[in-house]
Structure 1
Amino acid sequence: MKRGDFLKTFGLGAASLPYLGKSLYQNTPTELVKPKKLKRGDTVAFTAPAGIVFDENDFTRMKEVMESMGLNVVFGEYVRERYGYFAGTDRQRARDLNRFFSDPEIDGIIAVRGGWGCARILPYIDFEAIRNNPKIYCGFSDNTTLHLALLHYCGLVSFHGPNGTSDWTDLTKDSFESILMGAEKFEYRSNSKVEMLFPGIVDGRLIGGNLTILTTSMGTDYQPDTDGAILFVEDIGEPVYKIDRMMTHLVRAGLMDKVNGFIFGKCTNCPEPGGANFPMKEVLMHHIRPLGIPAIMGADISHDPDNFTIPLGLKARLDADNGFFKLLEEPVVRGKENSPD
C-alpha cells in the first residue's frame, strides 16, 4: 500500500502527523554551548521524559534534596501522568521539556527517572528553542538518548548524572554540586574499586552513557561522534554475553575506531556467570586490548547509589594507571558576579 493510500484509509491527514523537525536536523551546530551554573536561589524543574514514578514519596524526597542545596523546585505538569508504562503520552512528556527550556524562570532541568521512552519524544522536541535557551539538563539511563540528541542537534553540553529518584549519596551529591554549582574542573575518584584494563594517560572529549541506549543510537542521525573521545558506558540487569554482544556491535560499527580512552562504569545487577563462560573483565579486555587505548572499569558511573555527574562533549584526562579521570575545562558558565579574578 502506498503511503498516501495508507493515510487516507486510516484517516491520518497531514495535520495529524508528528512534527519531525527535519529542518533543524539539517543544521547541526559545530560549536559546543555550556549552560549557566546553578546558584542558591535558582529554580530547578523535574520532568518525566520516560518512565513512571510510582511512589509519591519519591517526589517529596527529590524536592528535599534540591532544597538542601538551596535550590527551589517545580514539577512538570505531566510528571505524575500515566500512559501505559510511560509518564504521559509522548507529546505530553515532550511538552513539559519544551516548556521548561523556554521558561526564563527555570534555571535547570532534571529527569525524575529513566526507564524507556526518551527516543519516542524526539520528534516533538523544539530543538530550536533549546538552542536559544541553553540550560542544565541532568539524568542518566534512558536519558542517554536526550544527551546525545541535545549534543547533536543543539551543541548543548548536558550532564549524565543522577535522576530525581537516585539515592543521592554523599559522592553523588558532591559531584552534582561541584560540577553544576561550583563549576569545578572536577577530579573523578571513585569510592568503588577501579581496575585497569589497559595502561596509559590520555585526553579526549567525554562521550557516552548507558551502553544499551548508546547501542540503539547506532544508525540514527544523533549517533555520537566518538573520534578522539573518552567513551564511558554503564548498564543494568544485563548478562555478560549481552555486554559482549553490544561491545562487539560498537566495534564492528566503527564506533571504537578512533576512541582515545574507555571507561566502563558498572553493570548493576549483572551477575558474573558460572560454568563455561567469561567474566565481565575478560570480555571487556577482549574488546579493549586490541585497541591499545587507556581503559578502566569499576568507576562510579552506574545505576548503583554512587553516580558521578559527567558533562558530555567536554575535554577530560583519563589516567588509567591510577584509576581516575578529571575535567580539563569548566563544565558550566559562571555568571559575571562569580567569575574568577
Structure 2
Amino acid sequence: MRARIIPPALHKGDVIQVVAPAGRPSAVEPFRSGLAVLEQMGFVVRYPERLWPGSGFLADSDTARAEELNRAFADDRSAAIMTVRGGYGSLRILGGIDLDLVRAHPKIIVGFSDITVIHNHLLASLGLVGLHGPVLTSLAASTPDSVMRLYRCLTGSWRNAFALPGIEILRGGAKVEGILAGGNLTSLASLLGTPYDFSWQGLVVVLEDVNEPPYRLDRMLTQLAIAGKFNQAAAILLGDFSLADARLYDTGPVDQEWLWQRVLDLTAASGIPVWAGLPAGHGPENLTLPIGADVVVNSNRRSLFFC
C-alpha cells in the first residue's frame, strides 16, 4: 500500500462540488434536500447548471463522467467533492480518471455504494484517503448521528476513537492494526480479474450491500474467498445488509445470522477478527468512515481508533 495522501479538512464557507460518476438523481426532492443539509452545515455547494443528461442507469457518457470528476479535482475553488448517488457506472470510468491530476490536487471525495470502486482505486493507486458516507441524495434521509458524523469527518475530526456499543463481535482476539478499505460487496467483487483489483493484505475491510438475495451474497463472498482475499485481510467489518424483497426471490430474505456464519466459515483458516452490525451501508444510519486511514480494531473495547 502506498503512503497515504490526506486531503485538507474543510472550513465553513468552503465549496463542495457535486458530481455524478455513476447514476443520476432519480428524483428532484432528495437532491434539493441534500443540498439544503450541506448548506446548513455552512458550506457552499456547486453543481452543474444543466443537470446530468444521461438516460437509463448512467448520469452521462463514460467520457463525460470521468471528465467531470477530473475537473472537480482540478478546480482549486472547490475544497471537496460529493457524489450525487451510487447506482452503477463507476467501474466504467476508472481508466479515465487522471491520477496525476488527483495527486496534484487532492480533495476529500464522499460517497458509498458504487462509489466504493473509486475510493479503493484512488487508495490503491495514490494512497488517497476518502470518506465512505452518505451521497447527496441520501443525506436528508440519514439519521442525525450520520449527518453529524459526516460533518465532523469533512472538517477533519475523524482521527479519534469510534465507540460501537451495539457491534456484534463474531470473532474477537487481540487488537489488530491495518488500513481501512472496502465498502459495497457487489462493487468489490466486480473488481476481481480487472487491472483495478487490489490486494487485501493488511487491510481492515468493510463489507455492506443492499437488496441482494442469499445466493448472490454467497456467490460473491465465495468468489472473494477463492481469490484469496479473506486470507489477506487483517479484519472484516460487516455493515448493513438490508433485506432483499422476499417476493422477488424463491430463497426468501437474507438471514443475518446465516450471513455472519458464512463469513466466519470463510475466514476460519486465518482466524481474523470479524465484526457485524457496523452502522454503515444503505440504511438511514450510515456513519462516515475514512477509507484509507490507519485503524486499530479493538474487540475488547468494541471500538475503532482512526489515526
Same fold (TM over 0.5): yes
Other structure's SS at 1:326 match: strand
Partner of 1:291: 270
Aligned runs of 1:199-238 on 2, under 5 Å?
Answer: 199-200=172-173, 201-238=175-212
Q: Deviations over 1:114-147 (max 9, x none)?
A: 0000111223222211111000001000001111
Partner of 2:111: 139
- Of the candidates 32, 38, 41, which is equivalent to residue 13 of structure 2? 41
Q: CA deviation at 1:60?
A: 1.5
- Of the candidates 257, 261, 286, which is equivalent to residue 282 of structure 1? 261
Give the TM-score normalised by the residue count of structure 2.
0.90
Other structure's SS at 1:204 match: strand
Measured in 1, the distance between the counterparts of 2:262 and 2:51 equals 39
Partner of 1:194: 167
Pairing 1:129–2:101 present: yes
Residue identity (%): 33
Aligned runs of 1:61-80 on 2, under 5 Å?
Answer: 61-76=33-48, 79-80=51-52
Q: CA deviation at 1:231?
A: 1.0
Letter in 1 for 2:57: Y
Partner of 1:3: none
Aligned residues: 298
Other structure's SS at 1:289 match: coil
- Of the candidates 8, 12, 23, which is equivalent to residue 51 of structure 1? 23
- Of the candidates 289, 304, 307, which is equivalent to residue 325 of structure 1? 304
Q: CA deviation at 1:162?
A: 0.9
Q: Deviations over 1:26-83 (max 9, x none)?
A: xxx9322110001101000111111121211222111111111110000135643223
Measured in 2, the distance between the counterparts of 1:290 and 1:175 equals 35
Aligned runs of 1:73-92 on 2, under 5 Å?
Answer: 73-76=45-48, 79-92=51-64
The structure 1 segments of at least 4 consecutive aligned residues displaced by more than 4 Å after TM superposition are 271-275
* Aligned 8 A contact 1:197 1:288 in 2: no
Pairing 1:245–2:224 present: no
The root-mean-square deviation of aligned C-alpha atoms, in Å, is 2.1
Measured in 2, the distance between the counterparts of 1:197 and 1:270 equals 23
Q: Deviations over 1:2-35 (max 9, x none)?
A: xxxxxxxxxxxxxxxxxxxxxxxxxxx9322110
Structure 1 residues 156, 84: CA separation in 2 closer, same or farther (over 3 Å shift)? same
Any stretches of 5+ residues in structure 1 without a counterpart? 1-28, 330-341
Structure 1 residues 258, 79: CA separation in 2 closer, same or farther (over 3 Å shift)? same
Q: Deviations over 1:86-107 (max 9, x none)?
A: 1111122122111111011000
* Aligned 8 A contact 2:180 2:291 in 1: yes
Structure 1 residues 76, 145: CA separation in 2 closer, same or farther (over 3 Å shift)? farther
Give the TM-score normalised by the residue count of structure 1.
0.81
Q: CA deviation at 1:271?
A: 6.7
Judge which range, 34-43 or 221-230, deviates more. 221-230
Structure 1 residues 110, 274: CA separation in 2 closer, same or farther (over 3 Å shift)? closer
Measured in 2, the distance between the counterparts of 1:78 and 1:267 equals 35
* Aligned 8 A contact 1:244 1:284 in 2: no
- Of the candidates 252, 273, 283, which is equivalent to residue 304 of structure 1? 283
Pairing 1:185–2:164 present: no
* Aligned 8 A contact 2:34 2:137 in 1: yes
Other structure's SS at 2:177 match: strand
